[in-house]
Chains A and B, each alone.
Chain A
């Protein structure tokens, strides 16, 4: 009889452990659960498109400031408010020829700021 109790208790403990750990993993697999981070990236890194995304995983609605530089010259700045867990696509419209100043390449840099933290991405456009 005692061995049956031990086997049944073990099966129950396995089932409970499975459930607890499965729930912990699933919750934490979420980009937003109990986390605080931001990501900025070019929508398409393979071409010369300047569309970029800001994803807010800070845990609450957040206002980001962004500034666009071409060859270190500030050409645009703005602020955007993004809900928790949401992402915002930004499509800058720039006439790069205006800022090239004779050089063949134009380095377009996007600085996204959240308080003191800065997220910088850039592309060299021919």
Chain B
């Protein structure tokens, strides 16, 4: 156990820190007025993540097998290339690159009390997340099981999979396969959740550096860490998404603020360096999560549109200015490289007309018609929504149209709010609660601004005593409401026994059945960790078959197969008999406490396995 832990603790920095460190060195050198130590440290992990993704995509295209030793060489080569670029760019001309300290942004140089506040927030965030995860750390989540099947496919075959469906994106699977190949720590361990936890934590900081750069205030940076990190730290899309294995969202939540960070800096500082990095991260997001990329595209469009509307009198000049920023060697090279990757190296599975068509247009289902305001409040969190709304109003009242920060903050929050509330207005046709999960990002940023601005205004117009009392009342409201979900983390009950019984039954079947002849059907409704069954067989994504949630069998728009339901719900019915002969299902796995009586009554089945939790029936 401890050797595996040690290997993991070495492999994770090797994959998620080292490449990013050297790439940052290549871009910025050792000290650079353009970027603070804090920002550089935050950028290392996402840069590593995307660099390793691109490396693996390239290896796959060049038919280089994705194996441990080759990956180590590839990552070391990447680091060496970064160092070589750094050496030739910076070491040869140290004098010209020397930067006076005072030119570095102060938005990330925290005072002692701010640092203490951040450390307390982080410590509590870790405490609640770890407490919650400790009851769900055993691999059991449905989504994570599906994703790990594809990661295991990469590990087993040394090649990237061809999904055949637009639901999965390659960037959701590469990182886990790479860490598994380097550390030999299995995918059916805590490893995937731990990597997601790390990315989730990094996501707090990516939002903080965006807030820091936009508002150039260390107070707001501090409050952004508090708002995005500690408030609602357990509920979706935070720790709950980590344990649930909602890989794309967790990665997307860390990458979206970064794309906006680079885009903001490119426009606000008129610097092509940030434009190039924006393209790199944007394409990285395209390879990582379709919904996050979709949300980002809408956000960027809204930001650009709002800025243009606010500055309609300088329209031509602004567009020419933007063109100039992006029409520079670095962004152009990044753009060409991105296009080459997207067209020639690896095209994401959802890059097709039908997938895009499905996500746009009039909402086709009630779940896509938008959330009501109370659902939005639940999604974002009352305290965060309140302070975010206040921040929105304060920004709106003091808007300075030429300053990009107003367009960024207002348009980002505004467009996500409309996409969640009235998606039909924007022809968005995706589940509204999934879009609503992104609202916490702009609202955390606005809440940080709102809190800082409100406190500053109040302190100016009040006595020290009153300001302190108000601060304490506010903190009480924010903390009690914002931590209400965290108290649930202490009450959860684990399902470890049921989960290991599921593993045991899968292991039993994997050792005894012939996957070429035998067809298995399991019950997804009542069996914990059932989606991990497929990792024991690694035959096909749809093997074994599953009885899904009953609502999935009811669809007024098209007919759905019902065999997987009928074969478990009423195994002795004529319909089920026909299904058994059509599908060839000859093993059925059900929850022993809830199902099985019908099978026991039927002369057509033998019961070959019985534990406290599960029964396995074999068709005679």
Contact = CB atoms under 8 A, between A and B. Distances in A.
A101 interface: no
B138 A28 contact: yes
B497 A37 contact: yes
Contacts, number: 157
B129 interface: yes
A108 B616 CA distance: 16
A7 B202 CA distance: 11
Interface string A16-48: 111111111111111100111111111011100
A73 interface: no
Contacts of A122: 606-607
B219 to A, nearest CB: 13
Interface in B97-132: 108-112, 114-115, 118-119, 122-123, 126, 129-130
Contacts of B620: 124
Interface string A52-92: 00010000000000000000000000000000000000000
B9 A18 contact: yes
A46 B8 contact: no
Given A10-B201, A24-B134, A45-B608, A3 B504 contact: no
B609 interface: yes
B36 A3 contact: yes
Given A6-B122, A13-B123, A24-B137, A18 B12 contact: yes
A123 B608 contact: yes
B28 interface: no
A93 interface: no
Nearest to A119: B610
Contacts of A19: 5, 9
Contacts of A4: 37
A41 B109 contact: no
B356 interface: no
Contacts of A117: 612
Given A21-B130, A25-B138, A124-B620, A35 B190 contact: no
Given A28-B138, A121-B608, A22 B603 contact: no
Interface stretch (B59-67, B191-199, B270-278): B191-199
Given A17-B197, A23-B1, A37 B501 contact: yes
A94 interface: no
Interface stretch (B157-165, B391-399, B508-516, B565-573): B508-516
B88 to A, nearest CB: 28
A53 B365 CA distance: 50
Contacts of A6: 38, 110, 115, 118-119, 122
Contact of A26 (B1, B37, B504): B1
Interface in B226-262: none
A23 B115 CA distance: 30
Contacts of B500: 28-31, 35
A2, A7, A17, A46, most chain B CB atoms within 10 A: A2
Given A44-B512, A46-B512, A121-B609, A22 B501 contact: no
B190 A21 contact: yes
Contact of B190 (A14, A22, A40, A45): A22
A36 B496 CA distance: 11
B496 A2 contact: no
A39 B506 CA distance: 13
Nearest to B12: A18
Nearest to A41: B609
Given A6-B122, A10-B201, A38-B612, A26 B512 contact: no
A27 B607 CA distance: 31
A34 B497 CA distance: 8
Contacts of A42: 608-609
Contacts of B616: 41, 45
A2 B41 CA distance: 13
Q: Which of A15, A23, A28, A34 has the most CB of B within 10 A?
A: A28
Contacts of B603: 124
Contacts of A23: 1, 5
Given A22-B5, A35-B497, A38-B611, A123 B606 contact: yes
Q: Which of B41, B138, B607 has the most CB of A within 10 A?
A: B607
The 5 closest A-B pairs by CB, nearest first: A25-B190, A45-B608, A2-B115, A39-B611, A3-B38
25 contacts: A3-B109, A3-B110, A6-B118, A6-B119, A9-B122, A13-B122, A13-B123, A15-B9, A16-B126, A17-B130, A17-B197, A19-B5, A22-B4, A22-B189, A24-B134, A25-B137, A26-B4, A26-B189, A29-B189, A39-B504, A39-B609, A40-B610, A45-B616, A46-B513, A122-B606
Interface of B: 1, 4-5, 8-9, 12, 36-38, 41, 108-112, 114-115, 118-119, 122-123, 126, 129-130, 133-134, 137-139, 189-191, 193-194, 197-198, 201, 205, 494, 496-497, 500-501, 503-504, 508, 512-514, 587, 603, 606-613, 616, 618, 620
